[in-house]
Structure 1
Amino acid sequence: MKAFAIGFLLACVATAADAGSSIIGAGSQTCTAWTNRKKNAVVKGSFESWLVGFISGLNVSGERDIVGGGDFDAIIAWMDHRCLTTPSDRIGIAALDLGMELAKKAAKP
Structure 2
Amino acid sequence: MNPQTGTQQSCKSVDQAGQGVTQVENGMGGYPPVNLPPSAEQSPTQNQQFIVDALRRHTGDFVRVSMSFNNTDREFKGTVQDVGMDHVTLEDERLNSRVILPLIFVNYIEIPK
Question: TM-score when scaled to structure 1?
Answer: 0.26
Q: Greater relative contact order: 1 or 2 (C-alpha under 8 angstroms, separation 6 or more)?
A: 1
Higher normalized strand content (fraction of residues): 2
Question: TM-score when scaled to structure 2?
Answer: 0.26
Larger radius of gyration: 2
Higher normalized helix content (fraction of residues): 1
